[in-house]
């Protein structure tokens, strides 16, 4: 039974072939490639600053993670140290991006459970974050705030106040929903014990991000391999032991609150100073860096020969290992639970699809 590539309960094109016996799923297979845009291929043919703009277009919902990760990889090759203020602004946008992304998924999850009132309330809250991002960067999505060597725009007092207000509104709003997520009969019936991933399987399958942390593994790039200024900020890595769809949603819910905590610290501590340094020609060299994107570990590998364009750019997005775990999660599930299980992985299909040759 095909689930996708075009399906009512899927926002993005992916094909999950389900093998079923009656209402029971006995096997599943994943096929991607429906939104291939040739990003790794194009990057080998474009100057570094244009590659940056391309990187943030790998995915609209993890856009800051991509541009930040690409920029820090190139900066490492070039031996450039980004001004501290720029690092703080990058983290500010990245965490607002995480809040926006997690709220998007939580709303979507409510929708997939058939709980549309909750969906609309959560997305109304998300709108506050979108507005704050627009004020900060000029864009609702594709913020384009990162530039090689720093950021493009500064944050003044007025903007900082607007972000603070948005953050406290979102926090209050979220606290209202905790009762619903933890106690509502619909939510619990649709998610508790559904699509359970054991700790052993999570480690064996190499899943990342909230999916891994909801199966009891404490692993977050921001803590395990700190980048930017994360080692100066206080936050908890949210871990749950249940491993089911509910735990995956709850990890994201609690992570949103942690992100708000980070945002407030950034606004308090942001040092004055320059917001970028010039990056000259990128010398021969290579670097591998990663960031914790909303969906988990995102890795970039860049190889430079000193030419104006990169020799090779490799992007490993968090959705690749996570969607790879879908067949294991779906085994023995009921067909009616498939949308919730796939949704709980928060797959970003655009992220996973990057390469194709456009010209013959």
Partner 1 sequence: MEVEEFLGRLVSEGVVRQYGKRRERRFTAKAERLRVAELADTMRRAGARLPAITCVDLGDDFELVYHFDLGGSLIDVKVRVGKAVPKVASITSAYPVAEFYEREILEMFGVKFEGLPRPEKLYLPDDWPEWDKPMRKR
Contact residues for partner 1, defined by CB under 8 A: 31-33, 36, 40-41, 76, 204-206, 208, 224-225, 287-288, 290, 297, 299, 301, 303, 311-312, 314, 316, 320-321, 324, 353, 355-357
In the complex, what is the shortest distance from the CB of residue 332 to partner 1, in angstroms, rounded to a whole number?
18
CA gap 23, 333 in Å, rounded:
8
Counts for the chain of helices (H) and strands (E), in that order? 15, 8
Q: Of 232, 303, 229, 245, nearest to 106 (Cα)?
A: 245
Q: Concatenated DSSP letters for 197-227?
A: --HHHHHHHT--HHHHHTTT----HHHHS--
Cis amide bond preceding 138, omega within 30 = no
In the complex, what is the shortest distance from the CB of residue 53 to partner 1, in angstroms, rounded to a whole number?
21
Contacts of 225 (CB under 8 A, 6+ apart): 290
CA gap 196, 93 in Å, rounded:
32
Main-chain phi, psi angles of 313, to 5 degrees: -125, 125
In the complex, what is the shortest distance from the CB of residue 276 to partner 1, in angstroms, rounded to a whole number?
22
Contacts of 284 (CB under 8 A, 6+ apart): 304, 305, 306
Of 131 and 224, nearer to partner 1 (C-beta) is 224
Of 150 and 318, nearer to partner 1 (C-beta) is 318
In the complex, what is the shortest distance from the CB of residue 353 to partner 1, in angstroms, rounded to a whole number?
6
Of 164 and 303, nearer to partner 1 (C-beta) is 303
Contacts of 226 (CB under 8 A, 6+ apart): none
In the complex, what is the shortest distance from the CB of residue 334 to partner 1, in angstroms, rounded to a whole number?
25
Packing angle of the helix pair 84-113, 245-269 (nearest 10 deg): 150
Of 135 and 225, nearer to partner 1 (C-beta) is 225
CA gap 36, 358 in Å, rounded:
10
Of 180 and 355, nearer to partner 1 (C-beta) is 355
Of 173 and 324, nearer to partner 1 (C-beta) is 324
Of 118 and 320, nearer to partner 1 (C-beta) is 320
In the complex, what is the shortest distance from the CB of residue 186 to partner 1, in angstroms, rounded to a whole number?
34
CB neighbours of residue 154 within 10 Å: 16
Of 297 and 337, nearer to partner 1 (C-beta) is 297
In the complex, what is the shortest distance from the CB of residue 243 to partner 1, in angstroms, rounded to a whole number?
17
In the complex, what is the shortest distance from the CB of residue 30 to partner 1, in angstroms, rounded to a whole number?
8
25 and 345 Cβ atoms separated by less than 8 Å: no
């Amino acid at each position: 039974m095909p689930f996708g590539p075009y399906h009512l309960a899927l926002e993005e094109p992916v094909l999950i072939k389900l093998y079923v016996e009656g209402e029971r799923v006995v096997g599943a297979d994943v096929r991607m490639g429906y939104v291939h845009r040739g990003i790794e291929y194009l990057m080998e043919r474009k100057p570094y600053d244009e590659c940056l703009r391309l990187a943030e277009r790998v995915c609209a919902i993890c856009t800051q993670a991509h541009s930040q990760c690409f920029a820090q990889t190139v900066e490492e090759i070039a031996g450039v140290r980004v001004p501290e203020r720029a690092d703080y602004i990058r983290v500010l946008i990245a965490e607002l991006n995480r809040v926006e992304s997690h709220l998007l998924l939580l709303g979507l999850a409510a929708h997939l459970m058939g709980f549309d009132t909750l969906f609309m309330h959560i997305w109304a809250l998300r709108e506050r974050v979108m507005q704050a991002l627009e004020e900060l960067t000029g864009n609702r999505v594709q913020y384009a705030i990162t530039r090689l060597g720093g950021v493009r725009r500064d944050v003044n007092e007025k903007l900082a106040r607007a972000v603070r207000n948005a953050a406290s509104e979102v926090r209050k709003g979220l606290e209202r929903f905790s009762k619903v997520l933890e106690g509502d009969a619909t939510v619990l019936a649709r998610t508790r014990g559904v699509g359970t991933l054991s700790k052993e399987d999570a480690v064996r399958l190499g899943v990342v991000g909230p999916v891994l942390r909801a199966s009891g593994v404490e692993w977050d790039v921001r803590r395990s391999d700190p980048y930017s200024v994360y080692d100066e900020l206080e936050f908890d890595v949210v871990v749950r032991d249940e491993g089911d769809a509910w735990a995956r949603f709850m990890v994201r819910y609690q992570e949103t609150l942690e992100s708000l905590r980070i945002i407030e610290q950034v606004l308090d501590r942001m040092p004055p100073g320059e917001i970028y340094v010039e990056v000259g020609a990128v010398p021969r060299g290579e670097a591998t860096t990663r960031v914790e994107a909303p969906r988990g570990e995102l890795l970039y590998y860049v190889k430079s020969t000193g030419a104006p364009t990169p020799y090779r750019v490799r992007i490993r997005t968090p959705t690749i290992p996570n969607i790879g775990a879908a067949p294991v999660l779906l085994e023995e599930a009921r067909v009616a639970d498939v949308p919730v299980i796939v949704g709980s992985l928060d797959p970003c299909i655009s992220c996973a699809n990057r390469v194709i040759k456009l010209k013959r």
